[in-house]
Structure 1
Amino acid sequence: KANKQKLDVAFIDDTTGETLKTVTKDGVSDGSANYNTKNDIDGYKAQHYNIVSDSTNGHDLVFDHNDNVDQHYEVHLSHATHSIDDQTTKSEAIHYVYADGLARQGKVTDDNVQQLSFKRDGYNDEVTGTDHWNAWKPAQQEFASVKSPEIQG
């Protein structure tokens, strides 16, 4: 009579460090576990995971002869990602008007308009859908000081 055996396969998310799932099989020495990791791995690939390693090497699992220690296998997964980028432009406009607010022919002087541009990059985690951004470049920028023109009269 063959001895009872047990094995398990843990699916580990290396990005978060969490165990996503553990498959446990019971059987007898030299018996087939009637399991391989292919279907589970295909399911994780459909969820945008990358396979880092599979200690079963994708083989059909068979129970061993060691009654004292259960067989343990691990499949390591990581999150697929893609690069993303963003940019923005901020504007400052100084409009000149007469202090008394009275209308006069022609404008006081041309508006002073300045623009600052910022860029950032990062990546999108395709498993969670979360965007992870790096700092804006340049990190800090200020509009140049403006000396308002003096108008005669």
Structure 2
Amino acid sequence: MSVRIDALRSDDVDRCAELETVLFPGDDPWSADAFRSELASSHNYYVAARDESGTLLGYAGLARLGTGVDPESEVHTIGVDPGARRRGIGGALLTALLHVADRWGGPVFLEVRTDNDAAIALYRGEGFEVVGTRRRYYQPSGADAYTMRRPDRREELRR
């Protein structure tokens, strides 16, 4: 199956919210309104993964934080339809976000459930390291999250 990565659009938000209820049932999934708000923010960047027919298979979002002198980015979300997993879609979405984060500069942060081994492995493969634990971060389940950080790519070039 061919998958293309392009911009997440406002007409995708209902499908995103639908996927959220499947992907994060015990952890206050995002609503369509939450996605609309994210898309409306000028400091956010969202992408979609679509199959040949245009069906939304996944989504991912990044926020630009910090200042022009001291920038950083934060991955807000990555979600892939359970029926489309193990096809590299999550990795392709993350790669798209990291290309933008690298242009913005600075380190990249994210939170991930401590029991999400597949996501942790994906993030580690892209250079992220655990820098902390947030107890009971996900609500209402009370699941813990790791905070992970990928160094600024410019730091790596200086070594």
In our comparison, the structure showing a higher alpha carbon Rg is: 1
TM-score w.r.t. the length of structure 1 is: 0.23
Structure (1 or 2) with the greater strand fraction: 1
Structure (1 or 2) with the greater helix fraction: 2
